[in-house]
Structure 1
Amino acid sequence: MNRLLIVLLGIIFLAACSGKSSKPSDTPTSGNITITVDEALKPLIEAEVAAFESIYANAHIRVIYTSEEEAIALMLKDSARATIVSRKLVPEEAEILTKQQYKPRQLKVATSAIALIVNNNNGDTTISMGDLKKILSGEIQSWGWNHPPKKGNSAGMEVVFDQPNSGILRHLKDSVIRFDTLQKNWFALKGNSEVIDYVSKKPEALGLIDVSWISDRDDSTANKFLDAVRVVRISEDSGSYQPYQAYIAQGRYPLKRDVVMISREAKSGLASGFMSFIAGEKGQRVVLKAGLVPATMPVRIVEINRDPISISPE
């Protein structure tokens, strides 16, 4: 009888231990997880993580900032619970998770944009979409292609971007013009801040960055970057526009792109909680303050009439 009781107690103990181990070690508002993020989106996600952890003291999110391709690859290999990039999974990537018996959750949380920047001594402050396509295809490789050279733009053009496997380049290939190889005057650096630094020192450079690095006018680092370089206008038939929040929201700025969070969680854990936070009111206010366009709340656009006020005589 005693032996039978011991066996039963042992079975109950093992079942209890098994039940505990099957539960997630984190909740939507607590625990420790790792996520991956396209480095181009770092200013926005740093702000979102800081806001989330300030509200939920028991939540700790470790972020790996890397290229878009590597960020997705790490998530697919289960080295990260979620990823934040500028596109949704392609069918082949989604199939990898399906075979692992996961159904990925994919949610657009903001709209950002690609900004073109030049040296402060470069006289070219506007590039048409037609000329941008020629730059991407390699047809244009020097400044002053449509006018006599100005100060700082008589040399050959250097096009610099954040890193190999760049999500910025991938977006330009998908949305502007297809180019299979990079031109000899194209250079990958090690991040968006390095692109800004390089352009600030090279009058012949054209930089490609995510606008989140320069869009928060209350951020001292963003203002420092804006002082170091000049943001190029993109022109189309409807006019020329810089990547301001209002123009991105209205669809006037042509190089806008989505910010998408992808989670591989089978149950509702910390990644799901963070996704809900970013998509909710508090997280969308962080997006708004960062100078980007929220996905789930309207942007108030105020148009200022700069025409002089005429006062009719009495």
Structure 2
Amino acid sequence: MARTGLLLRTSRGLTEMVRNSAGLVLTVFLLLLVAASCDQQPTLTTTRGTARVECDESLFPVMQFQAEDFHNTYPEGRINIRSVEAREAVVNFVNDSIRVIALGRSFNKEELNYLKNANIEYEGYKVAYDAIAVIINRQRADSTLRLTELDSIFSSTLTQWRTGKRGPIDTYVGDVNSSTDELFRTMILDKRPFGRTVTRLKTSESIVEEVAKDPNAIGIVGLSWLRGHDQDVRVCRLGGGTYRPVVRAKAIIEGVKNNQQRIVITETPLQTERSAFVVRLKELVGNKALNSVSSVRDESEGERVRIVLDLEPSVDPDEVLNSLHHFTQAVDMTLVAGQYFSPAQAHVLRKYYPLSREVYMYTREVRRDVGYGFIAYVKDRKGQQNFLNHGLVPATTPVRIVGLTSDKVQ
């Protein structure tokens, strides 16, 4: 009996061992299934995954459309885009709380110095040409403004309308940290503050709404905020007096990484031969007028212009661009002084419109993830067409002006 009991206990022990072994096998099998399922999870790529992007508020309508269009094209890729003022986007970018931003301007000198001193690696891309539109109520028939008048209105020196229906000028601008604020004050007010009678509103949408309902109103917004408001406000033509557009070489900043940068000229100034322009650049480098440029080379092919200026390490590319424009710009003698220009796409492309500007996207991502993929999408054909459809001008794909006197581009 004892043996039987022992056997029974042994048999029961074997049974328990078998049960435990089966449980172990089942556990291992389940672990293998989990591991296999982990291996089968989608790998993050430039078209799959989720990325957060902060966008300059003045660009939000077109950039929101870009994000939605990206998702429609790549259903597994999603861009969560947030509208903030330009300055806030830059601060968050520097603090690494956001890694992709879109701005209606390039980094300013203060921001570039901080990025350089903090040894922050980033890449920047010019993706479109935009403009700051000056808008008035549709009841005001005269939509032409001299630049001197614009200065007087927004500095509150001129507070009463002189033409059309008389009355006080109600002036509206955006947030103090907006790109439209910074650029307008730089271009028109010589960096002076807005006048005492100027009213600040939180959003560009609010500015459009106020101008639409106030017969005495005038305001400033980015071009993409005008889409769908053609019947609500009137867009001003600017110029007059001695104003005559200055023609400059068109250039972009490439390869902003590890403080190694270069400027690529994609179009020479009007009526300037490319070969002569390259010779002029080499002379400027040789006599130290462009002393931050290490070399100049012409990589143009056929009609495609590509003149590369390699920069010394840790150089501010915007300062080099300013010097380049200073030494190579020319007045467009085909235009009579005193003309007025609207922010039509052809005028923005040619820089005839006085408040033309450029749109940049910046990224801190070293991985080629969906955030990087979104930038690539915006730079590619479909993204560039989206800019064109929203009244902006593509910066990375060729465009042509339709007709000699046309305001449109394709």
Whether TM exceeds 0.5 here: the answer is: yes
1:294, distance to aligned residue in structure 2 (A) = 0.4
Query: Which residues in structure 2 correspond to 1:94-173 (within 5 Å)?
Result: 94=112, 96-97=114-115, 102-144=120-162, 149-151=163-165, 154-173=166-185
Paired residue secondary structure (1:276): helix
Aligned partner of 2:342: which letter?
Q
Shift of 1:46: 1.4
SS of 1:278's equivalent? helix
Per the alignment, do residues 305 and 188 of structure 1 end up closer, same or farther by CA in structure 2, a change over 3 Å counting?
closer
| Cα distance in structure 1, aligned partners of 2:398 and 2:94 | 33
Give the aligned residue type for 1:123: A
Paired residue secondary structure (1:227): coil
State the match for 2:205 in structure 1: 193
Flag the 1:47–1:134 CA change in 2: closer, same or farther, 3 A: same
Cα separation, partners in 2 of 1:204 and 1:108, compared to 1, 3 Å: same
- TM-score normalised by length of structure 2: 0.61
- Number of residues of Structure 1 aligned to a counterpart in Structure 2: 270
Where structure 2 has 5 or more consecutive residues not aligned to the other structure, the ranges are 1-37, 241-336
What does 1:272-291 correspond to in 2, within 5 Å?
272-291=372-391
How much has 1:242 moved relative to structure 2? 1.5
Q: Distance in 2 between matches of 1:57 and 1:97?
A: 35
Q: Does 1:35 align with 2:72?
A: no
Partner of residue 265 from structure 1, selected from 347, 356, 365: 365
Displacement over 6 Å in runs of 4+? none
Q: Which residue of 2 aligns with 1:52?
A: 70
Q: Cα distance, 1:162 vs. partner?
A: 2.7
The answer to whether residue 339 in structure 2 is matched with residue 239 in structure 1 is yes
- Distance, in Å, in 1 between the alignment partners of 2:82 and 2:379 is 21
Residue 248 of structure 1 corresponds to: 348
Deviation at 1:211, TM superposition (A): 1.1
The question of whether the paired residues in 1 share the 8 Å contact of 2:58 and 2:104 is answered with: no
Cα distance in 1 between the residues matched to 2:402 and 2:380: 24
Q: Distance in 2 between matches of 1:288 and 1:196?
A: 21
Quote the Cα distance in structure 2 between the aligned partners of 1:86 and 1:240.
23
Could you tell me which residue of structure 1 aligns to residue 219 of structure 2? 207
> Is 1:175 aligned to residue 175 of structure 2?
no
Task: Report the counterpart of residue 294 of structure 1 in structure 2.
Answer: 394
Q: CA deviation at 1:94?
A: 4.0
* 1:273 CA drift (Å): 1.2
Match of 2:290 in 1: none
Contact 1:33 1:80 (C-alpha < 8 Å) held by counterparts:
no
Measured against aligned partners, the alpha-carbon deviations of 1:24-51 in whole angstroms (never above 9, x if no partner) come to x843212112111011101210121122
Distance 2:340 2:59 in 1: 25
Q: CA deviation at 1:172?
A: 1.3
Residues 305 and 176 (structure 1 numbering): CA distance in 2 closer, same or farther, change over 3 Å? closer
Cα distance in 1 between the residues matched to 2:179 and 2:110: 18
Query: Is the 8 Å Cα contact of residues 265 and 272 (structure 1) preserved in structure 2?
Result: yes
Secondary structure (helix, strand or coil) at the match of 2:193 reads coil
Distance (Å, rounded) in 2 between the aligned partners of 1:170 and 1:247? 22
2 CA distance for matches of 1:27 and 1:67?
Answer: 29
2:395 counterpart letter in structure 1: A
Supply the distance in 1 between the matched residues of 2:364 and 2:149 (Cα, whole angstroms): 41
Deviation at 1:97, TM superposition (A): 4.6
Q: How many angstroms apart in 1 are the aligned matches of 2:58 and 2:347? A: 20
Distance 1:143 1:204 in 2: 8
Bigger CA radius of gyration: 2
Deviations 1:91-150 (A, max 9, x none): 543455556654111111000101111112223311011221222333222210xxxx42
CA distance in 2, matches of 1:304, 1:100: 49
- Distance between the aligned counterparts of 1:304 and 1:91, measured in 2? 38
> Offset of 1:185 from its aligned partner?
1.2
1:16-27 to structure 2, matched below 5 A, reads: 26-27=44-45
Root mean square deviation of aligned Cα: 2.4
Q: Which moved more, 1:184-193 or 1:106-115?
A: 184-193
**Is the contact between residue 185 and residue 193 of structure 2 (CA under 8 Å) also seen in structure 1?**
no
